[in-house]
Amino acid sequence: MFLTAFRRRALALLTAGAVAATLAACAGETSPEKTVTVLTHDSFTLPQNLIDDFRAETGITVSFVKSGDAGQLSSVVSLSAGKPKGDAVFGIDNTFAARPIEAGALEPYLSPLAAEGAARFAVPESKNELTAVDRGDVCINVDGAWYDRENIPEPTGLDDLRDPRYRNQAVLLDPATSSPGMSFLLATIGTYKDKAPDYWRALIDNGAQVVSGWEVGYNQLFSAGEGHGSKPIVVSYASSPAATPGTSALLSGCFAQIEYIGILRGASNTAGAKKVIDWMLGPAVQRALPTSMFVYPVQEGTPLPQDWKRRAPAPEYRVTMSPKYINENREAWLKEWRDTVRR
């Protein structure tokens, strides 16, 4: 969640009043036909000036309503197909994308701006029900400063996490409750194939700790996180080191997480929702994504912050799977994970 993802840290660093101000404006000044309600995950944030500029240019106020993580968001949308709680949805990622599409909860729309990059990340075999906005590669992060202090070489790949030298050092995220946790599970399945359960078992036997979500894993237990915990290895994003000096991402064994926006079937303001999608693909929003949500933009030619090439390079290879394939196998994989971890 991309949240569902490291975006929680970005949210903590930015002004929480941005969305609240927008909601107030919607309630007090804007007629319903001039409002577009967008359901989002809890980690969504954009600079308020961009939201204000969009309103000035179009007369449309965007009301962002947070609805849990990517999985919860997908469930809310899927269960309310045809009777939506808003006009659009942002933040369903490729690990959950098939669910609302198969539920018939989304209205097809192909933005004219999608050809500038977003189309490369379209959901395979779909009818443009979802449009890619950003991507955030889920990778193992390590605290290099911790390893320097302990005079231990840093792990360099997924295989190293089974090494006794790294016993009791890793924090994993439960794939049943965490979007990046699910992405890491998929990365291991793509890397180890039918041997993935053996890999999970080896991690647990080597003392890896499993927690409910990114906030606990990164901000509380990770040694470089806000809580200065004791664990120097954690599941996060390739872009996380841009915000956390002294850390790096293991750029092998990452999963390509993509976040989408779509129009909800039965929306009261479909025309306005289309304009919001075009806006999210426009240069102003795309340029803001790296610093507001610590994700990579999808539109080609969008500049990244100067230090990202050094501190947050994108992986050259990522594990990828179609949303349909993920949806068909999710429950079986989760059961196998639970059986392995709880044995």
> What end-to-end distance do the CA atoms of the chain give, in Å?
29
Instruction: Give the pLDDT score at 33.
Output: 62
Q: Is the pTM of this model over 0.95?
A: no
Phi, psi (deg, nearest 5) at residue 221: -100, -30
Q: How does 197-229 read in b/e, with b if 16+ C-beta sit within 10 Å? A: bebbeebbebebbbbebbbbbbbebbbbbeeeb
Using 50 as the pLDDT threshold, list the residues of the chain that sit under it.
1-30
Q: Hey, how many other C-beta atoms are within 10 angstroms of the C-beta on 72? A: 17
- Which tokens go with 324? 């349909």
Closest CA to 8 of 234, 251, 295: 295
In the chain, what are the domain boundaries?
7-136+256-311, 137-254+316-338
Instruction: Give the pLDDT score at 215.
Output: 87
Amino acid (one-letter) located at 143? D
Confirm if 136 and 175 have CB atoms less than 8 A apart. no
Instruction: Give the pLDDT score at 28.
Output: 39
Question: 7-136+256-311 has which CATH code?
Answer: 3.40.190.10
Report the chain's mean pLDDT, rounded to a whole number: 90
Closest CA to 88 of 231, 338, 261: 261
* Residue found under tokens 């991690």: 203
Separation between Cα atoms, residue 280 and residue 118, nearest integer Å = 11
For CA atoms 341, 159, 183, 240, the dihedral sign is positive
Q: Do domains 7-136+256-311 and 137-254+316-338 have the same CATH topology?
A: yes
Separation between Cα atoms, residue 1 and residue 44, nearest integer Å = 9
Which residues does residue 237 pair with via DSSP β-bridges, in sequence order? 138
Task: Domain 137-254+316-338: give its CATH superfamily.
Answer: Periplasmic binding protein-like II (3.40.190.10)
- Which tokens go with 11? 């949210």
Name the strand (E) or helix (H) holding 280. helix 270-281
For residue 102, give the 3-state DSSP assignment: helix
